[in-house]
Amino acid sequence: MFAPAEPAEPRERTLSGKTAESGGSSDSSPSSRDTVTEIEAEVAVLLQRGWKVASADDHTVVLTRQRTMPFCVNVGLLLVTGFLWSIYMVARARHPKIETTTLNY
């Protein structure tokens, strides 16, 4: 259901670890299915907020997002600081802030 941002293989993987073609469920108890459903719901919410799935395996989902500052704020700071802000802009453009979160189940 959730594929990595740049998939290494064309098949999509669900959070339970099964491929989309194989069908069925590897979980036998209802409580583990509830946990998978909760994790899938949490991932769906985070995807709507701009996170991307970096990797997903049987028990872990890794999500990342790049934090950026709006262009207008950068231009305003450039003008207010007499272009001193450009030092920070160049450094941030070369090494962007990337947040990572991991969901385990």
For 86-103, write each residue's pLDDT tens digit.
999 999 989 999 999 999
Predicted confidence (pLDDT) per residue in 40-73, tens digit: 999 999 999 999 999 999 889 999 999 988 999 9
Give me the residue spans of the domains in the chain. Answer: 30-104
Q: Which residues pair with 61 in a beta bridge?
A: 56, 103
pLDDT of residue 58: 85
